[in-house]
Structure 1
Amino acid sequence: MEIPRARILRRAAAAVAPNGLLLVVDHASVAPWSWQAGQDVRFPTAEEALADLRLDDGWRIERCHALRRTATGPEGQRATVTDNVIAVRRTA
């Protein structure tokens, strides 16, 4: 079952009050020990996730980056994974 991610995030954006901040942090890669490892999984880039929000001119982008970090697996294994961090502020 596919989750309507973009629709859910647009709904969250619609609920943000003026001067409010919407923060989206999501995975942009999969760890080798994940149940999804080896599957053909495609994660959106930070820019694609931001575009999915379909924000108008009443928003200011405060951050839109893919950040790398070291994750530790259940058996102590380590891998570099990527997370998207998007912060947008409603200005109007």
Structure 2
Amino acid sequence: MSTEQTEPTDPTEFWEQRYGGSGRVWSGNPNPLLVREVADLTPGTALDLGCGEGADAVWLATQGWTVTGVDISQIALDRAAAHAADAGVADRTTWERHELGTTFPSGSYDLVSAQFLQSPVALDQDGVLRRAAEAVAPGGTLLVVMHGGWPSWAEPHEHSVPHATFPTLDEVMTVLSLPEDEWKTVTLEGVEGPSTAPDGRTGTHVNNVWRLERSGSRSSGS
């Protein structure tokens, strides 16, 4: 009888197991492309989709944003709340558990950020991206960053992930189908950067960036 353990395919079970299996999964630092793209924006309200352990949301809060962080894993959200408290921005952050694609946070936001919203288990990525755009308030920004493919150090056998998808720049624009008279494209590019494997192998990785601005004026309360 085989004793090999398989990872769960249910999204909630998968991510709770992923976060519960270690003390920390991510570095605790904000994604550099988020920092690059948001640095020139006036802080307001922000929605961080797939926030994980909260590094991006906490960084945004330290820059003056009022942030709602969303994730499927309660373990990750608890760590995010602790990170915010340690950083002194608990009063600027709110945490909500959603299985995106099934439920979605209410309201509209001056910034909606989806950083690497890619999953090895089932995720309605297209549907989530469309709802993300709908959640952008007039005068607000949609920022999406995704891996553009496997890192250069990855071996062929490491690519057998059933639900892994790497949409192109044009494919995401087609999925969003945003009216040209209501949206302006600010950034649309692939950015190559260094990448290191868990075992120390090094190489490069291309990340795609979509930054889109909705027409209109931001509310005075932002």
Question: After TM superposition, is the score higher than 0.5?
Answer: yes
Aligned residue-pair number: 90
Normalised to the residue count of structure 1, the TM-score between the two structures is 0.85
| Deviation for aligned residue 1:39 | 2.7
Q: How does 1:25-44 map to 2 (within 5 A)?
A: 25-31=145-151, 32=154, 37-39=158-160, 42-44=165-167
Aligned to 1:2: 122
Which one of 59, 63, 66 corresponds to residue 183 of structure 2? 59
SS at match of 1:19: strand
Query: Match of 1:45?
Result: 168
Check the 8 A contact 2:194/2:204 in 1, yes or no.
yes
CA–CA separation in structure 2 for the residues paired with 1:84 and 1:48: 11
CA displacement at 1:86 relative to structure 2: 0.3
Higher strand share: 1
Runs of 4+ residues over 6 Å off in structure 1: none
Distance (Å, rounded) in 1 between the aligned partners of 2:126 and 2:199: 34
Any idea what the Cα deviations from partners look like across 1:8-40, whole Å, max 9, x if unmatched?
00101001011100000011111306xx72338
Q: Distance in 2 between matches of 1:63 and 1:2?
A: 28
Tell me the TM-score normalised to structure 2 length. Answer: 0.38
Give the CA RMSD over aligned residues. 1.9
For 1:42 and 1:6, how far apart are their aligned partners in 2? 11
Q: CA deviation at 1:42?
A: 4.9
Higher relative contact order (CA 8 A, sep 6+): 1
Q: Within 1, Cα distance between the matches of 2:202 and 2:189? A: 22
Q: Distance in 2 between matches of 1:30 and 1:38?
A: 8
Whole-Å separation in 1 of the counterparts to 2:145 and 2:139: 19
Structure 2: tracts of 5 or more residues without a match:
1-120, 217-222
Q: Percent identity?
A: 33
Larger Rg: 2
* Mapped partners of 1:38, 1:13: distance in 2: 30
- Kindly provide the CA deviation profile for residues 39-65 of structure 1, in whole angstroms up to 9, marking residues without a partner as x: 385511112112211101200000111
CA distance in 2, matches of 1:38, 1:20: 36
Question: Which amino acid letter does the alignment assign opposite residue 53 of structure 1?
Answer: L
What is the rounded CA distance, in whole Å, between the counterparts of 1:19 and 1:42 in structure 2?
A: 30
